[in-house]
Amino acid sequence: MRAMRRTGEEEGHSGRSGISLRLGLGAYIMLTVVFTAVSLGTVATLSARARMRQDLRSKLSTLAAAMSAAIDPEEHALLVTAADMQTPAYEKYRKLFAEVRAEDPKIAFLYTLRKSPDGKLTFVLDSGETEEDFSPLGSTYDELVDSLERAFIVPYKVSVETEFNTDQWGTWLSAFAPIVRKDGTLEGVLGIDMGASDIADAEWSLIRTIVGLTVLVVLAGAGAALLLSRRIVKPLLRLSEDMKRIKTLDLDNNVDADSRIIEIRAMEAALGNMKKSLRSFKRYVPSDVVVQLIGTEQEASLGTDIVELSVMFSDLENFTGVSEAVGKDLIPRVLGPYLKFFTGALQSRGATVDKFIGDAVMSFWGAPSPCPDHAVRACRAAIESRRGLEKLRDEWRSMGIEPMRTRIGINSGDAMVGNIGFEERLSYTAIGDTVNLASRLESLNKLYGTSILIGENTRKQLGDAQRCRLIDKVSVKGRLVSCEIYELIDELDLPADADVFLGAYQEALEPYFAGNFERALSSFRKVAFSHPEDGPSRVMAEKCERFIAHPPPGKWTGVTVMHDK
């Protein structure tokens, strides 16, 4: 019965309509070549066309601006009637127009226009040499195009047509520049018509060349497609036959695909390794079970393990305030590049990025792959990501956004790691006291004015790999056991007298932990005075002042109890 069902399946597969791999692959490659060649040709044509037109528009815009600047608005305002065409001012500008046209033969016409109160446009100056081309002062200008109309609209600026105009005299591109009085009012508009026939001819020549090259590429691609499909299909057919034998656990034949293609050789090697594994697996379980397992897909299931790792929490300082200030449109432009950069920096040090919580990022080292130096990796990732943030701060400044700092908390220890959730929804994450403390350390940066705080377990595992300083002893909310917290120090941020500065802070901690708040206050004030940018010394001095005014209840242990998260 089983054999009959298998035969029926084979007949069902053979009865399906299909297409040969060689023909399908050849057609696919051919279509890809054609599509790519046509696409590249089209892009190249449009790009070159746009560049040539843009160059012409830029040239025309610059020339129009220069010519309008060369015209004195006060002199231009005196040219009103036909009799003014005999004045020296009129002749001066006619001569200037002639010189400009002589320097660049592509310039066909130069002229100025004035708009009357009723909206009528009249010529003032014109460069025409013949009676047919010349427009006398006061004659009407009838063609009010969009680019000309824009030149009369506040704010006054140069306007260049976006498209060429073709008529019986040729192909043209026009630009219009305002002639502005000293008081900011508009006296008139200067117009320039430049010939663009050579640009249009060059565009058609380029199109013909690209079309010819595209045809050659397509023909060459057709031959290459046929050859490549043959070289790919033959070894694949050999591998396909071998895979059919694996389905029945016929694992003793070794097939030579006889291909120089790296990917096919990799498939051949992978197939050989799979056969080796199946031969070994076959020795432990019945063959029928192995055959069934070959087609079984493994699904993720609920379950966790206790793993030692280092956990990092980070967020952007004052991101909520910035979000309210910049509005919803700018938030993705701020947050997206930041998260991309920050996660990239973490992953380059082997981190597992667990989740994003707004601007906050949770990540850890040590799972799913073991990582003996997880604390060192986490701390170095924190330093490197903080340094690299300077580039983003420059972008934020250009957007008018106050640069933000990243606050980071790192803690090391055992945590539950694995798939947590329920059957329909799982999340690979870490939970436990180690994770909670890392989150609290990140929040404590705000209190102490620091950027990176680490727990004492992380400090122990870090050893001498990175410089740190003890900041305080705290008992965070939700945790009965107190711990020492350390600032992870970037060597680039240290002052010139780093050893003296750090030593003075550590000396100030001794009387503080001993309950001698007056002496500690004096020491912390000295550190804060010599290094006013140092947040911890200022905070600790304030704590000493509070304890002097209101001594802590009970026996002083040096531990500050935090009531907020």
**pLDDT of 465 higher than 60:** yes
How confident is the model over 348-366, as a mean pLDDT? 90
Task: For residue 103, count other CB atoms closer than 10 A to its CB.
Answer: 8
551 Cβ neighbours under 8 A, 6+ residues apart: none
Please give the structure tokens belonging to residue 481: 């056991």
**pLDDT of 337 higher than 70:** yes
DSSP assignment of 64-120: HHHHHHTS-HHHHHT--SGGGGGSHHHHHHHHHHHHHHHH-TTEEEEEEEEE-TTS-
- Alpha-carbon distances of 85 from 81, 108, 123, 139, rounded to whole Å: 8, 21, 12, 12
**pLDDT of 457 higher than 50:** yes
Render pLDDT for 36-85 as a digit per residue (tens, 0 to 9).
777 777 777 778 777 877 888 898 899 999 999 999 999 999 999 989 99
Look at residue 12 in the predicted model and tell me its pLDDT: 43
Look at residue 546 in the predicted model and tell me its pLDDT: 94
Class of domain 303-492 as given by CATH: alpha beta
Look at residue 301 in the predicted model and tell me its pLDDT: 66
Query: Regarding predicted confidence, which is higher, 1 or 244?
Result: 244
Contact 463, 380 (CB under 8 A): no
Render pLDDT for 277-309 as a digit per residue (tens, 0 to 9).
667 655 544 343 345 335 534 455 678 889 999
126 Cβ neighbours under 8 A, 6+ residues apart: 109, 110, 111, 112, 134, 135, 136, 137
Look at residue 286 in the predicted model and tell me its pLDDT: 38
Look at residue 137 in the predicted model and tell me its pLDDT: 92
Q: With cut-offs at 50, 70 and 90, classify the pLDDT of residue 409.
A: very high
Sort residue 318 into left (φ over 0), alpha (ψ -120 to 50) or beta.
left
Render pLDDT for 493-535 as a digit per residue (tens, 0 to 9).
888 888 999 999 999 999 999 999 999 999 999 999 999 999 9
548 Cβ neighbours under 8 A, 6+ residues apart: 517, 518, 521
Q: With cut-offs at 50, 70 and 90, classify the pLDDT of residue 445.
A: very high
Q: Is 337 exposed, middle or buried (0-12, 13-18, 19+ CB in 10 A)?
A: middle
Q: With cut-offs at 50, 70 and 90, classify the pLDDT of residue 200.
A: low
The CATH superfamily holding the domain 70-195 is PAS domain (3.30.450.20)
Please give the structure tokens belonging to residue 14: 């053979």
Q: Which of 237-251, 332-346, 465-479 has the lowest mean pLDDT?
A: 237-251
Look at residue 60 in the predicted model and tell me its pLDDT: 87
CA dist., res. 350 & res. 264, Å (int) = 31
Q: Which of 143-157, 203-217, 503-517 has the highest mean pLDDT?
A: 503-517
Please compute, for residue 496, the number of CA atoms within 13 A of its CA located in the half-sphere on the CB side: 1
Backbone angles phi, psi at 414, to 5 degrees: -80, 145
Look at residue 335 in the predicted model and tell me its pLDDT: 86
How confident is the model over 358-365, as a mean pLDDT? 92
- Mean residue pLDDT across the chain: 82
Q: Which of 14-18, 54-58, 329-333, 482-486 has the lowest mean pLDDT?
A: 14-18
CA dist., res. 462 & res. 456, Å (int) = 10
- Measured torsion, CA atoms of residues 124, 130, 131, 133, in degrees rounded to the nearest 10: -60
Look at residue 9 in the predicted model and tell me its pLDDT: 41
Region(s) of the chain under CATH 3.30.450.20: 70-195
Strands 468-475 and 452-455: unpaired
Render pLDDT for 27-44 as a digit per residue (tens, 0 to 9).
777 777 777 777 777 777
